[in-house]
Amino acid sequence: MEVTIERILPGGFGLAHAEGRTLMVALAAPGDRLRVRVDRVKGNVGFASIIEVVEPSPVRIAPPCPYFGRCGGCDFQQLTYEAQLSAKAEIIKDCLHRIGRINTVPDFNITAAPHQWRYRSRAQWQYDSVRQRLGYFESASHRVCDVSECAVLAPELQRTLETLRHNMSEGLLPDDAKYFRAVAGDEGVSVAPGVSGPSIGEDDDSERLPDINRSIGEEKYKLNAQSFFQTNADLLPRLIAGAIGDLSGDTAIELYCGVGLLTLPLARRFNRVIAVEENSDAANFARENLAGADLVNAEVVAADVAAWIESDLKCGVGAGALEIDFLLLDPPRAGAESRVIGGILQLKPKRICYVACDPATLARDLKKLIAGGYSLDSLDAFDMFPQTHHVETIAKLTGP
């Protein structure tokens, strides 16, 4: 069937309507006239793929990567960079309207990435030891797309991928490895094989890898490939400034702190910081990073955020007994659990900054914070992931 793409939806699909059905078309551009095939139907929604571009959108370009369409890594290479940014702004507004029920979404800027290609300073490559493939999952599948050159990898990670591929061809990769994680430091790359399914950020009982250092702005961070670190190092100084700005005060709480990317800047501006992170390796790095910066006013708690908030509120002597000037949370893609939002509302911080890598879960959580009496003051967006539909959003709220 032939359809016209109306706009880009959360998830990166192009929206079209045909034969009484809503269609979500992968790898489309707004304004494209396309011949599509419906691959799967869920309720009244059909998921479709492009058979032919009948009339290209003015913002459609030829995707430069030879794996585009098969590899599940990038889904926006068919758009000019300006169109990628507009689509991401629309995605954020759509989520806040539809999921967050926010009628008046504040105007916001989306900060472009300094580099649209070769920007990824962290990656996870899937490994199929039977078929001898190393790369990314194909879209909507667990088949590994064998990738020898990835146009969004920072040069040092591209070289690491090439070394791993060389080792694969020599039979030197561990057979039980399912994926490899890599993160680039100022000098050198940390690489870790993974044997089962968890994504970066979860505990791993393998041996601790050698540390690497990464400088971001004025701060230095020690880390390795087993802990979460943001993907686009070049944009991080802007993201940190957007999240914390010139705020200062007495007490700040930081939830989901990782290796302390935001904890160090917070500890420079607040007299006391309590940061929470469940991955014990990451929490240890955060402590080492604070110590390395001579910051003694921040405490890192290695705990699940929901469990920590609940126990802290119950015992009445921890954060629950403090007046909190600022609470910053940067949860994984799934957002914050209901118990966490409930706990935040009980902690009653004067200001909240929510750093989110998924606008849909951000919108869901903002709805609860707003229902709890907070008002949404401002939004900011950062294009941490060019060539994909992903976007980092920062929402700032003030308490009742």
Ligand X SMILES: C[S@@+](CC[C@H](N)C(=O)[O-])C[C@H]1O[C@@H](n2cnc3c(N)ncnc32)[C@H](O)[C@@H]1O
| Radius of gyration from C-alpha coordinates of the chain | 22
State which residue, 6 or 304, has the beta carbon closest to ligand X: 304
Give the Cβ contact number of residue 263 at 10 Å: 29
State which residue, 160 or 279, has the beta carbon closest to ligand X: 279
Q: Cβ 274 to ligand X, closest distance in Å? A: 13
State which residue, 91 or 282, has the beta carbon closest to ligand X: 282
Q: Cβ 320 to ligand X, closest distance in Å? A: 17
Q: Cβ 213 to ligand X, closest distance in Å? A: 15
Residues 71, 74, 257, 357: which is the catalytic one?
A: 357
State which residue, 4 or 111, has the beta carbon closest to ligand X: 111
State which residue, 119 or 228, has the beta carbon closest to ligand X: 228
DSSP 68: B
Is-contact 183 229, C-beta < 8 A?
Answer: yes
* Residue 30 phi, psi (nearest 5): -65, 130
- Tell me the one-letter amino acid at 7: R
Q: Cβ 9 to ligand X, closest distance in Å? A: 23
- Tell me the one-letter amino acid at 330: D
State which residue, 330 or 383, has the beta carbon closest to ligand X: 330
* Long-range contacts (CB closer than 8 Å, 24 or more residues apart) made by 91-96: 91/8, 91/9, 91/10, 91/12, 91/359, 91/389, 91/391, 92/359, 92/379, 92/381, 92/391, 92/393, 94/9, 94/10, 95/10, 95/359, 95/360, 95/362, 95/363, 96/359, 96/362, 96/363, 96/366, 96/379
Q: Cβ 353 to ligand X, closest distance in Å? A: 11
Q: Cβ 332 to ligand X, closest distance in Å? A: 5
Rounded to an integer, what distance in angstroms lies between the CA atom of residue 304 and that of residue 319?
15
Rounded to an integer, what distance in angstroms lies between the CA atom of residue 212 and that of residue 221?
8
Rounded to an integer, what distance in angstroms lies between the CA atom of residue 178 and that of residue 127?
5
In the complex, the residues that contact ligand X under the rule CB under 6 A are 201, 228-230, 256-258, 261-262, 276-279, 282, 304-305, 330-332
Residue nearest to ligand X (CB): 258
State which residue, 266 or 345, has the beta carbon closest to ligand X: 266
Q: Cβ 310 to ligand X, closest distance in Å? A: 12
Rounded to an integer, what distance in angstroms lies between the CA atom of residue 271 and that of residue 266?
9
Verify whether residue 357 is a known catalytic residue: yes
Q: Both tokens of residue 15? A: 């929206």
Q: Cβ 257 to ligand X, closest distance in Å? A: 5
DSSP 13: P
Is-contact 129 173, C-beta < 8 A?
Answer: yes
State which residue, 234 or 304, has the beta carbon closest to ligand X: 304
Q: Which residues of 283-320 are buried (b: 16+ CB within 10 A; e: fewer)?
A: bbbbbbbbebbebeebebbbbebbebbbebbeeeebbb
Is-contact 200 279, C-beta < 8 A?
Answer: no
Q: Both tokens of residue 366? A: 């903002």
Q: Just list the catalytic residues.
A: 357
